[in-house]
Structure 1
Amino acid sequence: MPDAVGVIETLGFPGILAAADAMVKAARVTIVYFDIAEKGNFYVVVRGPVSEVKPSVAAGLAAAMNTFGTEVISHYIVPNPPENVVAVLPIEYTEDVEEYRS
């Protein structure tokens, strides 16, 4: 089954922590990347089946929006990204996250 990629970007760390927690608890997804963007923006990237990434991102957005002082900057879902996108961007499953794959 093809995987999808879901991304949430927030202003402030507490919101992205709440989002990441909610995302992995809401569906069978794996966090494949986390980083600091600019100006205190943080983002988290999950992968999993399309049918799992959609509710995962929805739960993450709800959690981030309910976190005091957090602003959701951006979010998106890419269903079935092509292999060249996966190879170039930091969204591949790595050895570090392999044990958490569902």
Structure 2
Amino acid sequence: MIETWGVPALIAAADAAAKTADVKVTAYEKADAGLVTVYVWGDVASVKAAVEAGEAAARKVGKLISAHVIPRPDAEIAAMLRPPSKKEPSAVPAAGTATEASAAEQPDTGPQQQSPDLDTLSVQELRRMARAKPGFPLSGRQISTAGKAVLIRLLLQKDE
């Protein structure tokens, strides 16, 4: 993951990461007051190289806040951060970055085109919905710390 202050630095970081190694730059999340985070998936060595390149690009364009590689994350953490499969609606794809499916297979839909009903809700409202949904994949503590994009993605997932 690469966290920057502002979207221009994030886009530069995501672009550099995607061009450096065989990784998937899957989604981004807005945290608060200009902080944005992009997630990069792939084998550990490729992700490390991609994150290093992304860090350098973010520093050139804007402000890098943090970058971190978690080798082989626990399944619960991976489920929180991974984008949905091709069958499910896309989370919040980062503009101009690779997604789970290539651009030819899946049209790019920006954040404003994702379930407008859920996008208009606050994080607290989304957390209430998640707690009320039977079989929701996150525990209470995980719901309390999950970001808006993660909650929307998991709330939109079809019950399997």
Match of 1:98, SS state, is: coil
After superposition, give the CA deviation of every residue in 1:27-51 in whole Å (9 maximum; x if it has no partner).
Answer: 0000122121100111100100011
Match of 1:77, SS state, is: coil
Match of 2:69, SS state, is: strand
User: Given the alignment, which residue of 81, 85, 110 partners 1:90?
Assistant: 81
**Alpha-carbon distance in structure 2 between the residues aligned to 1:83 and 1:36:** 23
Considering only aligned residues, what root-mean-square deviation do their CA atoms show, in Å?
A: 1.4
**CA radius of gyration, larger in:** 2
User: Going by fraction, where is strand more abundant, 1 or 2?
Assistant: 1
In the other structure, the counterpart of 2:23 is 29
Alignment of 1:35-54 (within 5 A): 35-54=29-48
Kept in 1, the 8 Å contact 2:2–2:37? The answer is yes
- Shift, 1:92, TM fit: 4.4
After superposition, give the CA deviation of every residue in 1:54-86 in whole Å (9 maximum; x if it has no partner).
Answer: 00000000000011xx21111100001121221
User: Going by fraction, where is helix more abundant, 1 or 2?
Assistant: 2
Letter in 2 for 1:72: L
Kept in 1, the 8 Å contact 2:3–2:10? The answer is yes
In the other structure, the counterpart of 2:72 is 80
- Select the structure with the greater relative contact order (CA < 8 A; seq sep ≥ 6): 1
**Alpha-carbon distance in structure 2 between the residues aligned to 1:22 and 1:98:** 18
**Alpha-carbon distance in structure 1 between the residues aligned to 2:5 and 2:14:** 14
In the other structure, the counterpart of 1:99 is 101
| Pair 59,93 (structure 1): closer, same or farther in 2 beyond 3 Å | farther
Kept in 2, the 8 Å contact 1:32–1:94? The answer is no
**Alpha-carbon distance in structure 2 between the residues aligned to 1:42 and 1:30:** 17
TM-score between both structures, scaled by the size of structure 2? 0.53
**Residue ranges of structure 1 left out of the alignment (5+ in a row):** 1-6
Match of 2:3, SS state, is: strand
